């Protein structure tokens, strides 16, 4: 069984790894956190009106309306579990929420 110093070392390594993962997410964002929040807000509001059709229809709608780099945003969403609009909300936004301190308090840009 590991002693206290070994437990503390392992805990510090785990925290460092999580911090590195969060930093990697922040650096990989295809748009600012505020723009991404606006994207997710748009998707969420559109999904209140209609069900998800298993595509990124509403994400692409927002991307095109706001002249964002479509390939980069769609690729990022998919790499983070957002293969359709409802998965973008459930998975990709969760990734950002974990990586961006006070994400919920950010204003939506655009």
> What digits encode the pLDDT tens for the residues 26-36?
999 999 999 99
- Reduced to 3 states (helix: H, G, I; strand: E, B; else coil), residue 19 is helix
Residue 3 confidence (pLDDT): 83
3-27: pLDDT as tens digits: 888 888 888 888 888 889 989 999 9
CB 4 within 8 A of CB 49: no
Where along the chain do its domains lie? 4-105
Contact indicator for 96, 26 with CB cutoff of 8 Å: no
Closest CA to 31 of 61, 55, 79, 67: 67
Predicted structure pTM score: 0.86
CA-CA distances (angstroms) from residue 52 to 24, 45, 86? 29, 12, 6
Q: What is the pLDDT of residue 88?
A: 98
Closest by CA to 75, choosing from 58, 89, 92, 61, is: 92
Q: What are the tens digits of pLDDT across the range 52-102? A: 999 999 999 999 999 999 999 999 999 999 999 999 999 999 999 999 999
* pLDDT confidence of residue 25: 94
Rounded to the nearest angstrom, the gap between the alpha carbon of residue 103 and the centroid of all alpha carbons in its chain is: 10
pLDDT of residue 33: 95
pLDDT at 41: 96
pLDDT (0 to 100) of residue 62: 98
Q: Are 1 and 74 in contact (CB under 8 A)?
A: no
């Amino acid at each position: 069984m590991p002693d206290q110093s070994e437990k503390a070392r392992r805990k510090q390594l785990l925290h460092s790894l999580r911090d590195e993962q969060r930093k990697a997410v922040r650096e990989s964002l295809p748009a600012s956190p505020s723009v991404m929040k606006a994207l997710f807000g748009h998707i969420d509001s559109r999904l209140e009106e209609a069900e998800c059709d298993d595509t990124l229809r509403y994400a692409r709608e927002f991307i095109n309306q706001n002249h964002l780099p479509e390939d980069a945003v769609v690729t990022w969403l998919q790499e983070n579990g957002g293969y359709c609009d409802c998965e973008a909300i459930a998975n990709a936004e969760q990734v950002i929420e974990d990586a961006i301190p006070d994400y919920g308090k950010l204003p939506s840009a655009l």
